[in-house]
Structure 1
Amino acid sequence: MIASNDFLLPDLPHIDASSSLDDLGAVALDHPTQDIDGDGTPDTNTITVDDSLVVVSDIDLDGFADHLSVVDHTGEFASWQFTQGADGEPHWEQTDHGRLGE
């Protein structure tokens, strides 16, 4: 497990902007420390994994992450949303990707 001060992520070896989250299920976000949406309730944690910055947010405050963004050491970034597909199966869907500064 990759540990933050307040929550655990399943082991994400070498996570970067090109990583697949296909095998990553729901991520518990037990004790977020930052309030990314400004509503006064902490909903986000930020950690470093290998050479990447990972931002994990629980916007609906159900205890599980809904958004995950990664910026790797090259400036590449990617964002995913945890959603339920048409088949009823939950999965991470990539919502954005690119390179910072371009």
Structure 2
Amino acid sequence: MITSGEFPGLDLPHIDASSPLDGLGPVELNHPVQDIDGDGILDTETTTGVEAMQVWTDYDHDGLADHVTVVEKDGDYAAWEFHHHPDGTSGWVRTDHGHL
């Protein structure tokens, strides 16, 4: 199960390619099942819903997602990275979007 790091134990809200992810906060990956970067450590969970698939990856292995990509059934997609800003705040920054 993937949960919001700010609200442990609660499932994430519906996320699609147009979601702003403002205020989402860190996202915990409790049971990664894929090794997306090939380093031998499980770092990725994939969630699916009726309209979209989300791929959550923890590149630095701290238990929190660093990257998420969403692909919708209609071909819309978007990607975000979790950034720690110099002013001490943190949040998701969209790094890519489009249509396949």
- TM-score, normalisation: structure 1: 0.85
Q: 1:34-53 residue pairs with structure 2 within 5 A?
A: 34-53=34-53
Q: AA paired with 1:33?
A: V
Q: AA paired with 2:12?
A: D
Q: 1:62-81 residue pairs with structure 2 within 5 A?
A: 62-81=62-81
Paired residue total: 93
Counterpart of 2:29 in structure 1 is 29
Secondary structure at the residue paired with 2:27?
coil
Whole-angstrom distance in 1 between the partners of 2:68 and 2:97: 12
TM superposition shift of 1:8: 2.4
> Within the alignment, does 1:11 sit opposite 2:12 as a pair?
yes
Runs of at least 4 residues of structure 1 off by over 6 A?
Answer: none
Whole-angstrom distance in 1 between the partners of 2:49 and 2:70: 9
Secondary structure at the residue paired with 1:28?
strand
Whole-angstrom distance in 2 between the partners of 1:11 and 1:49: 12
- TM-score, normalisation: structure 2: 0.86
The gaps in structure 2 that reach 5 residues or longer are: 4-10
CA RMSD of aligned residues (A): 1.1
The gaps in structure 1 that reach 5 residues or longer are: 1-6
What percentage of aligned pairs have identical amino acids? 49
